[in-house]
């Protein structure tokens, strides 16, 4: 097995004002890894964060600790963190950098299983980090992965097929993943966002690579940001560090 990523750190943001319960499928998939359970507590612009923290801080921390304990009870290493904030995106970005996390989970509807994972690949950008992350995630679970490429021309299709075939081979060879758990698929389409969103609907989880220096900069309209906006399923964003 490759040692590129021995044990990734994953940021799991939770709305601390309405924390709810984590999906047991999510707990099962992520528990083998280091986790930062970030309870972000939205504060209105006109309210001072210290004021909100004094009023709701103990309650918020107790809720996030309870969520972290569910991962820890499955053998995980989950650290609870609570931040009262006026800006959720900036807080997630800041905490991701402070804790040097490898991936960030986005909000989405998690079903009873997280067995089918889609990994869109566009090129060499962040490829090593993505494959390292996917490799260790598969090594610690029974999930299956589809490496996915969207091509807009014949030349792009040839390059894309080599990319996803090579990624499958590396996951099987370097991470000792059974070939039956790794497949590839390519689609010709003019819109990568639409193609990825459509393919993601047939999967439980989508893993994408960060293509800008920060998470908050993705709101400027690149493919990753648009997929996040259009998808109702959770995504794991592998950071480019």
Q: What is the CATH number of the domain that holds 121?
A: 3.40.50.620
Task: Flag whether 3 is in a domain.
Answer: no
Mean pLDDT of the chain: 87
> Which residue is it, tokens 């943001």?
13
Q: Distance between CA atoms of 165 and 148, rounded to whole angstroms?
A: 10
Alpha-helical runs (H) found in 99-191: 127-139, 154-174
Binned at pLDDT 50, 70 and 90, residue 191 comes out as confident
Same domain, yes or no: 85 and 33 = yes
For the entire predicted model, the pTM comes to 0.88
CB 22 within 8 A of CB 67: yes
Q: Distance between CA atoms of 140 and 113, rounded to whole angstroms?
A: 15
Q: What is the average pLDDT across 1-13?
A: 72
Same domain, yes or no: 77 and 23 = yes
* Alpha carbon separation from 177 to 113, 139, 174, 181, 187 (Å, rounded): 20, 7, 8, 7, 24
pLDDT of res. 106: 86
* Beta pairing, strands 205-209 & 116-120: parallel
């Amino acid at each position: 097995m490759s040692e590129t990523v021995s044990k990734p750190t994953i940021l799991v943001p939770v709305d601390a004002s309405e924390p709810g319960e984590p999906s047991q499928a999510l707990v099962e998939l992520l528990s083998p890894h280091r986790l930062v359970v970030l309870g972000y507590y939205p504060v209105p612009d006109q309210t001072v964060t210290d004021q909100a923290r004094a009023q709701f801080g103990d309650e918020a921390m107790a809720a996030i600790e309870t969520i972290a304990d569910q991962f820890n009870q499955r053998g995980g290493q989950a650290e609870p963190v609570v931040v009262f904030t006026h800006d959720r995106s900036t807080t997630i970005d800041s905490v991701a950098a402070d804790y040097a996390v490898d991936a960030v989970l986005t909000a989405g509807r998690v079903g009873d299983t997280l067995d089918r994972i889609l990994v869109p690949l566009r090129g060499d950008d962040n490829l090593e980090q993505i494959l390292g992350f996917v490799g260790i995630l598969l090594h610690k679970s029974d999930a299956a992965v589809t490496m996915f490429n969207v091509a807009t021309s014949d030349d792009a299709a040839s390059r894309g097929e080599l990319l996803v075939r090579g990624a499958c081979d590396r996951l099987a060879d370097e991470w000792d993943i059974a070939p039956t758990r790794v497949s590839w698929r390519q689609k010709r389409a003019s819109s990568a966002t639409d193609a990825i969103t459509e393919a993601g609907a047939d999967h439980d989880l989508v893993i994408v690579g960060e293509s800008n220096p920060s998470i908050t900069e993705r709101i400027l309209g690149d493919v990753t940001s648009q997929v996040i906006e259009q998808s109702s399923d959770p995504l794991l964003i592998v950071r480019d560090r």
